[in-house]
């Protein structure tokens, strides 16, 4: 058990390519942090620097109160779960789990007890004598988890551990990882490019883009108050609608359409306006609305996504499946549900933070 | 492995296409091999006018001939020594090069060069280096009190041909070991590093076991090489001497048949050699194909 502090960390590869810039992140003991971002955003590099598999070019990483910049991976008291599991193919499951303990000179009886406990927890007891190739993808994943658990490390590092599994298994393993982490209370850093995985697992999300942190926050905070247009478009499915608009006093012009903001305008002039698909609805006849030209629909069962254009900008709205459709429609939005971003930098403009962003998550954050 | 089935329009075309290779195999391999089997059961008079069928006489004599049995033992010593030396050094070089990033290609190229050297040239090269009157190595050895003379000392001669034969084979083993090492997934090594295993322990716990199919394959290939492909090295250096001490089986076939003109016995020896090759090949296919790994 330990906290992890990442202080102004950067990574420059030989040849001068910069992968990560000035990352500052304080992770509390027992916290589940998810690093999320598109491929190439530096999230894996950051994780590997914490693990000790990459050298740290700038800044410091502390595990507990110890600076680990020059500490070997083995001595950092961490365990890592790899994307391809990295199970030793010539060893049985038992030996895969026991290898790290044997290397540290743990007594045989202690090894047996810990392996048995981890195997029971992960329900892989009956596979202990098998080689990894005789296991299914999900079972291998469990063994990889087990190898991390038996060590009882200060922190778990997960490098996209579920991306090699099929969709169904991914969902169930996701739940299992969360359950195990809660039960063991071990500080965890989890890297993924899947925003849904990130949302569901994290105590706090760290959204990375181009080697820099875009936003740190609880999942709901990031979802309801994205700090930039990048975060807005990356977190949430379907992606948040981002359209160009212009503020004139209390009125917002999007293309030819103009709607009143009831006092929620944060500034004036050109802005990028963000609105979640589920915050859009078909307008009543008597309210101000945006003209919407329907292009195609996607049925999700519980809701229906309607894709179309407002003026010349693409917009997607999530409506109930019973909604009547027409080629020309009018859609409305509650002004409180709009997100405003600076047109040039893409940063969120102050004001107008929805109440949901401050909601406590379902489970208490440690 | 499933190869794609090709359909030919003309039913003779595939045979025509195969014919050159088949002709070469038939004329240069199958036919001489058949001749050898045939003449191993025959005895020819000194002038080649008549041949008599003698059954297994040649084989029976070989089995009682101390010179032949000694040659068997020498061949085994030679084969094992060359295989072990060249594989250990090949692996050592592969591990060294595998650790390099940018200069790896340069070293790979340099290390593969000896394989391009013709066996006779390799033999002559080492012959000169070890020449007891003019060679550089005996000169330095003399400081350690070693009086090197492979023309008189059988052990020295054996060491010379082992070095010459192994030197060429290191390149081959190096290439295969390097390829094997590079195909060990990097994350396995990283996982082991996190599991608290140092570089040396990682090599013995992870790399070496994963190299076992390569190692086994190379073992068979190397034994085959030393037993049957080292004729020119020996011919260029020791010519089987001194006092038969480097007269391995292949060279004895040549000496007895070509120099001693005892064609029947020589044929019987080559048939025995052929049997050994067949056994080794069968072993290789049965086990290597099925991977000995995990």
What are the CA-CA distances from residue A84 to residues A140, A149, A173, B56, B68 (Å)?
A: 9, 17, 15, 61, 56
In order along its 294 residues, chain B shows pLDDT tens digits of: 445 667 777 888 888 999 999 999 999 989 988 988 888 888 887 777 888 888 888 888 888 888 888 888 889 899 999 999 999 999 999 999 988 877 888 888 888 888 888 888 888 888 888 888 888 888 888 888 888 888 888 888 898 889 888 988 899 999 999 999 998 888 999 999 999 888 899 999 999 999 988 888 898 888 888 888 888 888 888 887 787 788 888 888 888 888 877 788 888 888 988 888 888 888 877 776 655 544
> A158, exposed or middle or buried, with CB in 10 Å at 0-12, 13-18, 19+?
buried
Tokens at B161, concatenated: 């041909």
pLDDT at A200 exceeding the cut of 60: yes
Distance from C-alpha of B185 to C-alpha of A185, rounded to nearest angstrom = 31
Taking residues A231-249, report their average pLDDT: 89
Secondary structure element (H or E) that encloses residue B43, with its range: strand B42-44
Residues of A in contact with B194 (CB under 8 A): 51-53, 73-74, 78-80, 100
Strands (E), A163-283: 187-192, 204-209, 212-217, 241-248, 251-254, 257-260, 269-275, 280-282
Neighbours of A128 (CB within 10 A): 18
pLDDT at A114 exceeding the cut of 90: yes
Query: Is the CB of A147 less than 8 angstroms away from the CB of B210?
Result: no
Query: What percentage of chain A has pLDDT greater than the value 70?
Result: 95
Secondary structure element (H or E) that encloses residue A159, with its range: strand A155-159
How do the domains of chain B map onto residue ranges?
A: 52-288
**Phi and psi torsions of A281, nearest 5°:** -145, 165
Taking residues A126-131, report their average pLDDT: 92
How high is the pLDDT of residue B290? Answer: 58
Tokens at A2, concatenated: 């330990």
Taking residues A194-222, report their average pLDDT: 92
B271 neighbors B36 (Cβ within 8 angstroms): yes
The DSSP result for A255-305, as a single string, is: TTEEEE-TT---S-EEEEEEE-GGGEEEPPTTS--EEEEEEEEEE-SS-EE
Distance from C-alpha of A141 to C-alpha of A303, rounded to nearest angstrom = 33
Listed range (A56-65, A114-123, B123-132) with the worst mean pLDDT: B123-132
The DSSP result for B254-281, as a single string, is: HIIIIIS--HHHHHHHHHHHHHHHHHHH
pLDDT at A323 exceeding the cut of 90: no
B123 neighbors B234 (Cβ within 8 angstroms): yes
Residues of B in contact with A80 (CB under 8 A): 190-191, 194
How high is the pLDDT of residue B20? Answer: 94
Residues of B in contact with A131 (CB under 8 A): 294
pLDDT at A364 exceeding the cut of 50: no
Inter-residue long-range contacts of B286-289, CB under 8 Å, 24+ positions, other chains counted: B287/B216, B288/B213, B288/B216, B288/B217, B288/B220
A311 neighbors A283 (Cβ within 8 angstroms): no
- Better-scored residue on pLDDT, A310 or A263: A310
Question: Where do we find the tokens 């090759």?
Answer: B277
Closest CA to B225 of B86, B88, B121: B86
- Residues whose CB is less than 8 angstroms from the CB of residue B100 and which lie 6 or more positions away in sequence, other chains included: B107
How high is the pLDDT of residue B1? Answer: 43
- Better-scored residue on pLDDT, B236 or A3: A3
Q: Can you name the residues that pair with A333 across neighbouring β-strands? A: A280
The torsion angle over the Cα atoms of residues A80, A95, A183 and B188, rounded to 10 degrees, is 10
Tokens at A37, concatenated: 């971002």
Residues of A in contact with B294 (CB under 8 A): 89-90, 131, 133
Q: Indicate the fold that domain B52-288 takes in CATH.
A: MetI-like fold (1.10.3720)
Question: Where do we find the tokens 């050298």?
Answer: A55
How high is the pLDDT of residue B294? Answer: 45
Query: What percentage of chain A has pLDDT greater than the value 90?
Result: 54
Closest CA to A106 of A115, B294, A280: A115
Domains of chain A and any CATH numbers:
4-224 (3.40.50.300), 238-350 (2.40.50.140)
- Residues whose CB is less than 8 angstroms from the CB of residue A309 and which lie 6 or more positions away in sequence, other chains included: A292, A293, A295, A315
How high is the pLDDT of residue A131? Answer: 92
Best of A14, A89, A114, A191 to substitute, by most chain B Cβ atoms within 10 angstroms, is A89
- Better-scored residue on pLDDT, A187 or B262: A187
Q: Are strands A18-27 and A78-81 parallel, antiparallel or unpaired?
A: unpaired
Taking residues A13-22, report their average pLDDT: 88
A275 neighbors A292 (Cβ within 8 angstroms): no
Distance from C-alpha of B160 to C-alpha of B129, rounded to nearest angstrom = 10
How high is the pLDDT of residue B126? Answer: 86
Taking residues A73-99, report their average pLDDT: 92
Best of B183, B192, B196, B292 to substitute, by most chain A Cβ atoms within 10 angstroms, is B196
Question: Where do we find the tokens 């900008």?
Answer: A313
Using a CB–CB cutoff of 8 Å, tell me whether B192 touches chain A: yes
Q: Find the residue in B nearest to A75 (Cα).
A: B196
Distance from C-alpha of A69 to C-alpha of B180, rounded to nearest angstrom = 32
A248 neighbors A267 (Cβ within 8 angstroms): no
How high is the pLDDT of residue A157? Answer: 94
Query: Is the CB of A133 less than 8 angstroms away from the CB of B195?
Result: no
For residue A37, give the DSSP letter. Answer: -
Using a CB–CB cutoff of 8 Å, tell me whether B188 touches chain A: yes
Distance from C-alpha of B187 to C-alpha of B180, rounded to nearest angstrom = 15
B97 neighbors B108 (Cβ within 8 angstroms): yes
Listed range (A54-63, A130-139, A166-175, B276-285) with the worst mean pLDDT: B276-285
What are the CA-CA distances from residue B45 to residues B51, B231, B255, B266 (Å)?
A: 6, 28, 18, 15
Partner-chain residue, chosen from B192, B194, B205, that has the shortest CB–CB distance to A79: B194
Partner-chain residue, chosen from A72, A78, A82, that has the shortest CB–CB distance to B187: A82
């Amino acid at each position: 058990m330990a906290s992890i502090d990442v202080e102004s960390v950067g990574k420059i590869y030989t040849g001068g390519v910069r992968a990560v810039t000035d990352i500052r992140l304080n992770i509390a003991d027992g916290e589940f942090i998810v690093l999320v971002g598109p491929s190439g955003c530096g999230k894996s590099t950051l994780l590997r620097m914490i693990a000790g598999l990459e050298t740290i070019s700038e800044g410091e990483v502390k595990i507990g109160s110890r600076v680990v910049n020059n500490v070997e991976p083995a001595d950092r008291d961490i365990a890592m779960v790899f994307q391809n599991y990295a199970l030793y193919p010539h060893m049985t499951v038992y030996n895969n789990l026991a290898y790290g303990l044997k290397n540290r000179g743990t007594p045989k009886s202690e090894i047996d007890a810990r392996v048995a406990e981890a195997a029971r927890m992960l329900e892989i007891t009956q596979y202990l004598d098998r080689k990894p190739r005789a296991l299914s993808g999900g079972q291998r994943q469990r063994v990889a988890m087990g190898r991390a658990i038996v060590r009882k490390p200060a922190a778990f590092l997960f490098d996209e551990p579920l991306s090699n599994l099929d969709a169904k298994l991914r969902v169930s393993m996701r739940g299992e990882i969360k359950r195990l982490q809660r039960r063991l209370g071990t500080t965890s850093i989890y890297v993924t490019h899947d925003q849904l995985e990130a949302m569901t697992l994290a105590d706090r999300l760290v959204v990375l883009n181009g080697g820099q942190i875009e936003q740190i926050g609880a999942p709901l905070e990031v979802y309801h108050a994205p700090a930039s247009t990048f975060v807005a478009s990356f977190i949430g499915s379907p992606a948040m609608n981002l359209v160009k608009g212009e503020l004139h006093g209390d009125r917002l012009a999007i293309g030819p359409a103009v709607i009143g903001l009831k006092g929620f305008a944060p500034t004036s002039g050109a802005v990028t306006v963000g609105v979640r698909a589920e915050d859009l609805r078909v307008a009543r006849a008597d309210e101000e609305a945006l003209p919407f030209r329907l292009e195609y629909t996607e049925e999700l069962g519980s809701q229906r996504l309607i894709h179309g254009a407002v003026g010349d900008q693409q917009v997607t709205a999530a409506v109930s499946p019973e909604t009547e459709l027409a080629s020309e429609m009018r859609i409305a939005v509650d002004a409180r549900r709009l997100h405003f971003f600076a047109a040039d930098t893409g940063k969120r403009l102050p004001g107008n933070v929805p109440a949901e962003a401050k909601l406590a998550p379902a489970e208490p954050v440690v | 492995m499933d190869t794609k089935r090709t359909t030919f329009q003309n039913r003779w075309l595939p045979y025509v296409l195969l014919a050159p290779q088949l002709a070469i195999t038939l004329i240069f391999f199958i036919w001489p091999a058949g001749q050898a089997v045939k003449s191993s059961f025959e005895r020819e008079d000194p002038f080649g006018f008549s041949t008599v069928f003698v059954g297994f006489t040649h084989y029976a004599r070989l089995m009682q001939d101390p010179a032949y049995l000694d040659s068997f033992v020498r061949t085994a010593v030679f084969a094992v020594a060359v295989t072990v030396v060249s594989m250990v050094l090949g692996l050592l070089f592969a591990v060294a090069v595998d650790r390099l990033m940018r200069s790896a290609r340069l070293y790979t190229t340099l290390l593969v060069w000896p394989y391009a050297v013709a066996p006779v040239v390799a033999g002559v090269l080492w012959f000169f280096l070890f020449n007891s009157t003019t060679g550089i190595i005996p000169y330095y050895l003399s400081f350690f009190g070693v009086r090197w003379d492979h023309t008189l000392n059988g052990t020295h001669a054996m060491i010379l041909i082992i070095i010459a034969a192994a030197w060429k084979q290191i390149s081959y083993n190096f290439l295969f070991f390097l390829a094997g090492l590079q195909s060990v997934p990097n994350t396995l090594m990283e996982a082991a590093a996190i599991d608290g295993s140092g570089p040396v322990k990682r090599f013995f716990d992870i790399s070496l076991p994963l190299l076992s199919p390569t190692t086994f394959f190379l073992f068979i290939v190397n034994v085959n090489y030393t037993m049957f492909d080292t004729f020119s090295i020996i011919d260029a250096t020791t010519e089987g001497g001194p006092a038969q001490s480097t007269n391995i089986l292949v060279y004895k076939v040549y000496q007895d048949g070509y120099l001693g003109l005892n064609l029947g016995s020589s044929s019987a020896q080559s048939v025995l050699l052929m049997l050994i090759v067949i056994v080794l090949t069968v072993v290789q296919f049965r086990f290597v194909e099925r991977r000995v790994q995990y």
